Structure 1
């Protein structure tokens, strides 16, 4: 991630009270949790909801609901994006033009989404996280530390999620694989295994995805040595964890200069 120092700035509406939040993906599993948690939040309030073209307004919400970003930017200080499938190739450019801070929590990003991120990150404060759990941020650091300390061990990553999750492997599994890739020669991702294959190459990072039931999320990185195995794991028990993390991230980006931030940046200022 490209990190820039924090700016000592406060949006005008924050001086008058709680900062105004626009939710992108408010009808989804995580979006609905954000709506609930914003009720009575001491620093934030729901002010607007982005609608996809043709999407009906959500009932019982006292918020501006529109597909027009000019309307939404006027009523918002910060955007939180939990869309699935991701919509940031459409939503980031107008936010960047308006200079509004943005929390991107969507996974399964397309090349067009990645291009929009690359273009926007110099124009607004953007926190991008495949997982908004603070413990997963620590997990990433632990996996990278283990990968550096155990360069000859075989690395496999397994993730488990509920049956509703659309992308596989999860963004968090890819995050952990990237942490391993950044430490040495293990750079070849193997997404699942099937059929006859050559002997396992030490440069591989195997990633397996399981789907079933209502599992919130589990991730384990395995380091296999000749006579031992290290497992580093994280298990989520309540999906509210990620919505709470998104609101915390929104408070963080509201006070940052334009740049590309991650959970490590946010935790460093905790």
Structure 2
């Protein structure tokens, strides 16, 4: 059995991961962790006790999963560092300097970092890359839609899509939404649009717009189970790895 700790256990993704892990036959959840001021501290979720002291349980774990926020994730990463336990996070909203922390820490122990744990979304990245190459004269726009409670914009997945496009078209520049007399669309401009509302789990669309035609690549998550399943696959993958920074593309080529 793979012994895991889930940070952010009382959140939407945390609860989904608990459910998916309990349905699996190879995971043992030894604790759910939340911030000290979380009302679920001391309570149980699906039989899992929620605590606020990550360090007290890290030694007995095989892997720590984190779905919190960018500040809490970095704090959890720091706590795990001394034990060099594999660390899996799907948390988003990291700045460039915060991302560098992951790079540095990954020299000491294995870290799996992915803004989206869905297998489908990670295949979408490849489709976007191929389309950006082949449809070199087409304009590109990104539209992402999420539930009203999502705190960061654009989504980490939209940012990842933007990086894929930038890798193929290094001259592109990104803007975030349009308003007013913005003038004619610039040739190397890509607009990232964020929509928030309802209970939408997540939708990402990438439009390649040419003259007289356009192609739309779209991924829609119908439930969070796809992210939970991907997270557990990431755990199975990372516990066998040495120090390094890994992502879904590494998992999918195995």
TM-score range normalised by the length of the shorter chain: over 0.9
In 1: Cα distance, 2:199 partner to 2:219 partner? 16
What is the deviation of 1:139?
0.3
Checking the alignment, whether the CA contact within 8 Å between 1:78 and 1:102 is kept in structure 2 is: yes
What does residue 193 of structure 1 align with?
178
What is the deviation of 1:149?
1.1
Asked if 1:117 corresponds to 2:102, the answer is: yes
Asked if 1:39 corresponds to 2:25, the answer is: no
What does residue 53 of structure 2 align with?
67
How many pairs were matched up? Answer: 251
Checking the alignment, whether the CA contact within 8 Å between 1:131 and 1:171 is kept in structure 2 is: yes
What does residue 268 of structure 1 align with?
253
In 1: Cα distance, 2:30 partner to 2:172 partner? 44
TM-score, normalised by the number of residues in structure 1: 0.87
Where relative contact order (Cα < 8 A, 6+ residues apart) is larger, the structure is 1
Checking the alignment, whether the CA contact within 8 Å between 1:20 and 1:78 is kept in structure 2 is: yes
Which ranges of structure 1 fall in alignment gaps of 5 or more residues?
1-17
What is the deviation of 1:127?
1.1
Checking the alignment, whether the CA contact within 8 Å between 1:21 and 1:77 is kept in structure 2 is: yes
What does residue 6 of structure 2 align with?
23
Of the three residues 19, 28, 34, the one matched with 1:51 is 34
In 2: Cα distance, 1:86 partner to 1:252 partner? 25
Change over 3 Å in CA distance of 1:200–1:76 after alignment to 2:
same
In 1: Cα distance, 2:202 partner to 2:72 partner? 23
In 2: Cα distance, 1:220 partner to 1:95 partner? 36
In 1: Cα distance, 2:171 partner to 2:142 partner? 13
Matched position secondary structure for 1:178: helix
- RMSD (Å), alpha carbons: 1.7
Asked if 1:180 corresponds to 2:165, the answer is: yes
TM-score, normalised by the number of residues in structure 2: 0.92
Which has the larger displacement, 46-55 or 117-126?
46-55
Checking the alignment, whether the CA contact within 8 Å between 1:93 and 1:116 is kept in structure 2 is: no
What is the deviation of 1:162?
1.1
Checking the alignment, whether the CA contact within 8 Å between 1:101 and 1:126 is kept in structure 2 is: yes
In 1: Cα distance, 2:169 partner to 2:96 partner? 25
Checking the alignment, whether the CA contact within 8 Å between 2:10 and 2:34 is kept in structure 1 is: no
In 2: Cα distance, 1:58 partner to 1:133 partner? 31
Which ranges of structure 2 fall in alignment gaps of 5 or more residues?
none
What does residue 167 of structure 1 align with?
152
In 2: Cα distance, 1:186 partner to 1:154 partner? 13
Checking the alignment, whether the CA contact within 8 Å between 1:180 and 1:186 is kept in structure 2 is: no
What does residue 98 of structure 1 align with?
83
What does residue 149 of structure 1 align with?
134
